[in-house]
Structure 1
């Protein structure tokens, strides 16, 4: 007789229902995290088109969007026309049974629909409501629209990115969207934790602009301490030497970032005995003061070595270093493979598709599985019946009136 199978532990957010009115990237990223940690996430979309990212490139063979797939896994889709008063009534019925509402319309838009925090909390005082906008619920720019790169530009992130003698540059990932998405998730979890103590919900205001400005913690410290407006430094660190990327003999790049205890071992690997013996360079302040001399010597020594053999020597000497890799190489790394960073899901029309796993995991449990992104309206009937309490006749009437859409229609 085989041993009994141990019961599977519930995922951390099982039992939490999230009503998600958001679209595009930042807030959908947050609700995807919640979904893969166990929450039931109901994504409310426009009939006909749905979240506009359903039409974004790159497109897959059967027409679905890989962009949409990246931020909408594990959700249930309800296609509901919020411009119709009957659609808004259904949305209120869904919110009455939800734990969390996430929305990213311009300030005031949800209030005009009768779906703002005050309206919904009146019937559901435990509701955690998160409004994610570009500039927040207050201030002179509150109704201004923007996209990721606009926020990078306005916040100073773009001015800080790139080589000192080159133009400003956007980051290689949509950092404004993705960091804001993390703060939306933090807001939801904070609200749920607070509700566990007080029994009441809260309305959180997440501004993408605020989030980007908060990323300047170290830059602002330099400004406040020295009255110095930080400038672009490329891959170099403004306050530590060495900390930069160096080109190797085979055309690769190697990033080295060391502290005082790594300086002599680094010099020994590179054969820079003179630098290792210089007492002024034993401490970071001395190396910063002589940055150009130190960097010139390091560049010349590293340019004579090939990337991977040099990296192996540096790691053996306990010098913090890493190859500058492309996305393909990074995801194929043995450590990433051992950690199961790349996973896959089964989609009803596109079949097996690879995805990056939600990185939060428990030490004694399986990492979160990647759910499949929903087809537009795939769960409309089931959600309206189960969560809103609508009967078959009511659902049929809404469908015939074009207020709702279910999958395949």
Structure 2
């Protein structure tokens, strides 16, 4: 048994945030029915990188373990079928522009009448209200507008985006939180509800530490590279072999760090014993550390620091991180067997519950592969009706 066995999720979302969220729900046991446009489906099916059989590795990354149903929501019959699926669902996730689902007769008020227990999550760029509600946006647009881009990079370089689609992925996590919270509330009250989740709101919530400096010091933080405004040392340093090592030390780590690096003068200076003093002398401390680290090979120094409990992490590439012995031992990389692309690697959902052995990652569905099965199972449509729906372009 998995935690969400017996829960049905109907997904009207595409590309990243919504699909990422529903994939997590599928990994936890939910039956996720992904509604896609006939002919093209989720547009991420065409995104790079493409695999030899034509499928998209981008789509694979966020749509495992779901069932794909093609449905033309612009038709009256398609809307009726969608309502029928929602009537039997526990959670609905949609990321259309505000008002679109209402236009199709699939808004919360209409569906709550059919299914009062439905947890309905609208994940949009800017929410259902506010001056920007009708704006469209992408991950990098939210990084720019939220201040995240202005905080990313080095002081002497232009703003930079985060190396992963952080706005999409953190929003996806909040969709999951919303779904689980809604299901718990339904257990208590017997009713579902409508969650208005704005990606821009999620990004604003990530500014907690930057906001703390604004609220406390009236200071608008800027780019610091790998350094930490509130801790010294906490930076990545280049080593003798060209590798980089990130060192992040609190007060209890300071003297052991100095000992390993041969910085007796700094260790003997009482003004540097506390973080506050090291922040006041940031340039002196950082320069001394950089010079000492530059004389040592990365891996040897990392081992020496960890031996005295100084937190240190080698700056690795994504390939190196996935091949790391700890990543492998934790089973974070799994596999699935796809009907056209064969065996393919996939990252597991990281949640572990009481040592539960979760199965291998689910298989991403071919476009519309489950349409007839789902509509027959959920709505009782027979072969002749399904044939008519396909002929008229509804499915």
> Fold-level match, TM-score > 0.5?
yes
**Is 1:128 the equivalent of 2:119?**
yes
Deviation at residue 363 of structure 1 after TM alignment: 2.8
Please point out which of 47, 57, 71 is paired with 1:56. 47
Q: Deviations for 1:178-218, whole angstroms, at most 9, x for unmatched residues?
A: 00000011110010000000000010011000000000011
The separation in 2 between residues aligned to 1:361 and 1:118, in whole angstroms, is 36
**RMSD of aligned C-alpha atoms?**
0.6
1:221-232, aligned counterparts within 5 Å? 221-232=212-223
Structure 2 equivalent of residue 89 of structure 1:
80
Is it true that 1:233 corresponds to 2:224 in the alignment? yes
**Cα separation, 1, equivalents of 2:138 and 2:256:** 45
Aligned residue number for residue 65 of structure 1: 56
Which of residues 356, 381, 401 in structure 1 aligns to 2:347? 356
Contact 1:54 1:64 in 2 (8 A): yes
Runs of 4+ that moved beyond 2 A: none
- Correspondence for 1:172 among 124, 138, 163: 163
- Per-residue CA distance 1:258-298 (angstroms, 9 max, x = gap): 10000000000000001011100000000000000000000
> Counterpart in 1 of 2:310?
319
Deviation per CA, 1:350-389: give whole Å up to 9, x if none: 0000001111111321135300000000000010011122
> 1:394, CA displacement in angstroms?
1.5
Structure 2 CA distance, aligned partners of 1:239 and 1:273? Answer: 24
Extract unaligned runs of 5+ from structure 2: none
1:365 aligns with 2:356: yes
Aligned-partner Cα distance in 1 for 2:189–2:68: 31
The reply to whether residue 270 of structure 1 matches residue 284 of structure 2 is no
Which of 9, 27, 32 aligns to 1:18? It is 9
Pair 1:208 & 2:199 matched = yes
Identify the residue that residue 347 of structure 1 maps to in structure 2: 338
1:156 aligns with 2:147: yes
Contact 1:36-1:369 at 8 Å conserved across structures: no
Query: 1:387 aligns to what SS in structure 2?
Result: helix
Equivalent of 1:283, from 264, 274, 282? 274
Tell me the distance in 1 between the aligned counterparts of 2:205 and 2:87. 34
Q: Secondary structure at the match of 1:159?
A: helix
Whether the 8 Å contact between 1:360 and 1:368 is mirrored in structure 2 is: no
Matched residues in 1 for 2:327 and 2:67: separation?
Answer: 29
User: What do the CA deviations read for 1:194-244 (whole angstroms, capped 9, x no partner)?
Assistant: 000000001001100000000001110110001111111110000110000
User: Structure 2: how far apart are the matches of 1:168 and 1:265?
Assistant: 35
> In 1, Cα distance between the equivalents of 2:356 and 2:198?
34
Q: Alpha-carbon deviations, 1:83-135, whole Å to 9, x = none? A: 11110110011111111110000000000100000011101000000000000
> Could you tell me how far 1:11 is from its partner in structure 2?
0.5
Name the SS for the 1:319 alignment partner: coil
The DSSP-based 3-state class of the residue aligned with 2:231 is coil
Preserved contact between residue 100 and residue 129 of structure 1 (Cα < 8 Å): yes
Cα distance between partner residues in 2 of 1:88 and 1:398: 12
TM-score, with structure 2 as normaliser = 0.99
Task: Choose which of 296, 309, 332 in structure 2 pairs with 1:305.
Answer: 296
Provide the TM-score with structure 1 as the length reference: 0.96
**Alignment partner of 1:375 out of 366, 374, 386:** 366
Deviation at 1:72, TM superposition (A): 0.1
Unmatched tracts of structure 1, length 5 or more: 1-9, 405-409
Question: Distance in 2 between the 1:394 and 1:199 partners?
Answer: 35
Give SS of 1:158's match: helix
2:245 is the counterpart of 1:243: no
Structure 2 CA distance for aligned equivalents of residues 338 and 99 of structure 1: 35
Alpha-carbon separation, structure 1, partners of 2:360 and 2:72:
31
